[in-house]
Amino acid sequence: MIADQLESLGMKGRDFLGLADYTPDEIRKLIDLGIELKNLNKAGKAYRPLEGKTLGMIFEKSSTRTRVSFEVGMYQLGGHALFLSRNDLQIGRGEIISDTAGVLSRYLDGIMIRTFAHQIILDLAEHSSVPVINALTDYSHPCQALADYMTVLEHKGKLAGLKIAFIGDGNNMAHSLMIGGAKLGLHVAIASPDGYLPDAGVQQDTRAIAAETGGSLLVTEDAREAIADADIVYTDVWASMGFEEEQKIREKAFANYQVNEELAKLAKPDYVFLHCLPAHRGEEVSAGVIDSKHSIIFDEAENRLHAQKAIMAALM
Ligand code: CP
Ligand code: NVA
């Protein structure tokens, strides 16, 4: 049991800012630990390595899954979670992030943050003496990608060699799936319209990682090319949090990027559909796909709990 040997993971005290900072072996161990913790939980067995510890959860954006899964997860691990919304913290009134980090580190055993610019989490981590966990920035969403690959492993029995097609905005979700997919040896295909392609640096890093693991990366504007023979089909909203005012322009730009029954026909017959949620039926995905037998969105959402418990147990 990995759960009995947390120290041997060598992750104690580390931050979880992105999957790029973790080796393929470490990512796989986190996934396996998540599956173990899920099994313990289903068997009704208590596992409380974080008794007496407290996680601060800073939210500068809305959340359903992340907030609930981290709070419940921390409780199940024997610890306590504090919800800290931007409006209730002094950062909302201009206290600088380094002072916030220094102060919170004196009270808490870990800090989870959902914020806008990725630089904010980098600054927070630099000035915190406790582990900092990325619960979404404009740049990445690694907790979600970890839970996603755990879900795929449960459904497909393997990860390396599978093809994942992400259709839509080359956003935070695309970035984390690219890096995570490459680390785990998947073939990653991204289809986005011109102007919404994934970050060039992330593309470069993904290619470099894939060259080591046997994975690959295809970035195209052609959704049909990306989805061809995919084992996993993934999409996300067209206008992420913080980009709501671009909704109308984005609806035009992404009109040909809806994952619907016609497009999904090009994927493998036994493809699985994932979406980090929240979803907009009739925009990035048709109801016919997201509510079909291919869709594993609720297993995926559930696994946020188990995967994040693995992260917290390993780091804290
Ligand atoms: N997928 C996800 O992070 O959902 P929330 O925004 O509800 O936390
Ligand atoms: N790309 C989305 C993900 C939400 C979980 C956003 O940033 O709003």
Determine if ligand 1 sits within 6 Å of the CB of residue 66. Answer: yes
Average pLDDT on 22-36 reads 98
Average pLDDT on 251-273 reads 98
Determine if ligand 1 sits within 6 Å of the CB of residue 144. Answer: yes
Average pLDDT on 238-258 reads 98
* Active-site residue, from 250, 276, 306, 308: 276
Does residue 144 have an active-site annotation? yes
Domain ranges of the chain: 2-140+303-315, 145-300
Q: Which of ligand 2's atoms lies nearest the C-alpha of 138?
A: 7
- Domain 145-300 annotated CATH 3.20.20.70: no
Mean pLDDT of the chain: 98
Q: What is the pLDDT of residues 101-136, one digit of tens each?
A: 999 999 999 999 999 999 999 999 999 999 999 999
pLDDT exceeds 90 at position 219:
yes
Q: What is the pLDDT of residues 136-164, one digit of tens each?
A: 999 999 999 999 999 999 999 999 999 99
Average pLDDT on 70-88 reads 96
Q: What is the pLDDT of residues 52-78, one digit of tens each?
A: 999 999 999 999 999 999 999 999 999
Is-contact 81 68, C-beta < 8 A?
Answer: no
Look up the pTM and report it. Answer: 0.98
pLDDT of residue 297: 98
Determine if ligand 1 sits within 6 Å of the CB of residue 277. Answer: yes
Determine if ligand 1 sits within 6 Å of the CB of residue 173. Answer: no
Pick from 87-91, 192-196, 244-248: least confident: 87-91
pLDDT exceeds 90 at position 198:
yes
pLDDT of residue 139: 98
pLDDT exceeds 90 at position 87:
no
* Active-site residue, from 187, 304, 306, 308: 304
Smallest CA-to-CA distance from 165 within 191, 185, 134, 193 is with 191
* Residue 272, token pair as written in the block: 């699985």
Average pLDDT on 2-11 reads 95
Determine if ligand 1 sits within 6 Å of the CB of residue 304. Answer: no
Phi and psi of 248, rounded to 5°?
A: -65, -45
For residue 106, the one-letter residue type is R
Q: How far is the CA of 237 from the centre of ligand 2 (A)?
A: 7
| Domains 2-140+303-315 and 145-300 equal at CATH topology level | yes
Three-class DSSP category at 145: helix
pLDDT of residue 88: 87
Closest residue to atom 1 of ligand 2, CA basis: 240
Q: Under CATH, which number does the domain 2-140+303-315 receive?
A: 3.40.50.1370
Average pLDDT on 67-92 reads 95
Does residue 199 have an active-site annotation? no
* Residue 72, token pair as written in the block: 């419940």
pLDDT of residue 92: 85
Q: How far is the CA of 64 from the centre of ligand 1 (A)?
A: 5
More confident residue, 92 or 227: 227
Q: How far apart are CA 118 and CA 168, in angstroms?
A: 21
Residues 265-283, buried b or exposed e (16+ Cβ, 10 A)? ebbbeebbbbbbbebeeeb
Q: What is the pLDDT of residues 165-174, one digit of tens each?
A: 999 999 999 9
Average pLDDT on 174-197 reads 99
Q: How far is the CA of 296 from the centre of ligand 1 (A)?
A: 16
- Ligand 2 pocket (Cβ < 6 Å) reads 136, 141, 171-173, 236-237, 240-241, 276
Identify the nearest ligand to the CA of 274 by its number: 1
